[in-house]
Amino acid sequence: MIKVKKEVLFESQRDGYSINRVPGVIHTLSGVAVLHCESRKGSGGDWDPMDIRMRRSCDGCKTWEEPRIVVDHQNFGTTINNFILIPDCNTGRVCALFCVDYARAFRMFSDDDCLTFSEPEDITNVFDGFRGEYDFKVIAIGPGHGIQLKRGRMIAPIWVSPGTSPGGHRPNRCGAIYSDDGGENWIAGELVPDTLPCCNESEAVELSDGQVMMIIRTYDLGDGVSDVDHCYKAKSYSPDGAGGWSEPLLDKELPDPICFSSVCRLDDDTLVFSNCACHEVEITNWARDRKNLTVKVSRDEGNSWTELLVLEPEIAGYSDLCVIDDGHVLCVYEKGMYGENMCKNSSLIVASFRI
């Protein structure tokens, strides 16, 4: 029986924000857990005013510092979105990437475990490297977290869209940008082959043979509820995390309701995965239900998965994972993210457990 400790770290209708969404979590080289999210005003939608807020724990997740703003939308534009962190396993420096209004991208650094950050620098032109493959107006990084390979390369999954659909995010394609100098300079890799519709929010993990596996949100809404035959996570592989991505294929062991998921490496033998593993249609009329937040493990580099535990059987949402030490895992996730009362009854939860 796995013991799970849960704690609410961000509540809706607090501190002037309607809702807190799209969480991410990392563990720094010196042992600090860092959790962040999009704190949204207005109705809490993707285009409403939002700031990036953060909480840290310096004592093994026993206590958490009070929330603080690390990126204020008033300094940039309306929407500060898709913030990710990538800790450098050699220097301890943390690289942060984020987008503004789904149109510009920025980079900044922290040398004190995310207590302070350098001034953001615009890196939007990195995305120009994808224009030979795909015409787009919307850009996004992550969400969740980026990774650093054993060889030192940093990888940040991205997605781009021409923004022609209602809401401006579809159709889309995913890929990655990478840095070989600790996040100072970023380069556009290649996009994942366009053989599945709407491949977007992704997270990557390095495999034991040095390949990079990307687990991808994908869907085909058509004229109604997304076909259940398409409601699975897709996987694509790259030899170096930058290009040469394989054709994305659905993993029928990872059912998904069109929602962001997370993956990370626990140890040399084990991968950990979290998502809302659900194919039911009870609470929406346009997608499968975001509930049954489940943690799975793979002992064969993602070829097969075994359910470990259900963290949230009811309405949930986006999640992100990180490993603290010695099998100690953190999963931060959205709870209660649906319906008219979403901005009143939702929260971000951090769950702590050992595998």
Which range, of 87-96, 146-155, 164-173, averages the lowest pLDDT? 164-173
Domains of the chain (ranges; CATH) run 4-354 (2.120.10.10)
Q: Residue 164 — very low, low, confident or very high, per pLDDT cuts 50/70/90?
A: confident
Is the pLDDT assigned to residue 224 strictly greater than 80? no
pLDDT in tens, 22-35: 999 999 999 999 99
Q: Residue 108 — very low, low, confident or very high, per pLDDT cuts 50/70/90?
A: very high
**pLDDT value for 221:** 63
Is the pLDDT assigned to residue 203 strictly greater than 80? yes
Q: Give the residue-averaged pLDDT of 247-252.
A: 97
Q: Give the residue-averaged pLDDT of 241-252.
A: 98
Is the pLDDT assigned to residue 170 strictly greater than 90? no
Q: Give the residue-averaged pLDDT of 256-272.
A: 97
**pLDDT value for 220:** 76
Q: Residue 190 — very low, low, confident or very high, per pLDDT cuts 50/70/90?
A: very high
pLDDT in tens, 314-329: 999 999 999 998 899 9
pLDDT in tens, 51-62: 999 999 999 999
Please give, one letter per residue, the 3-state secondary structure of the chain: CCCEEEEEEEECCECCECEEEEEEEEECCCCCEEEEEEEECCCCCCCCCEEEEEEEECCCCCCCCCCEEEECHHHCCCEEEEEEEEECCCCCCEEEEEEECCCEEEEEEECCCCCCCCCCEECHHHHHHHCCCCCCCEEEECCCCCEECCCCCEEEEEEEECCCCCCCCCCCEEEEEEECCCCCCCEEEEECCCCCCCEEEEEEEECCCCCEEEEEEECCCCCCCCCHHHCEEEEEEECCCCCCCCCCEEEEEEECCCCCCEEEEEECCEEEEEEECCCCCCCCCCCCCCEEEEEEEECCCCCCCEEEEEEEEEEEEEEEEEECCCCEEEEEEEECCCCCCHHHHCEEEEEEEEC
**pLDDT value for 223:** 56
pLDDT in tens, 270-308: 999 999 999 998 887 778 899 999 999 999 999 999 999
Is the pLDDT assigned to residue 225 strictly greater than 80? no
Is the pLDDT assigned to residue 193 strictly greater than 90? yes
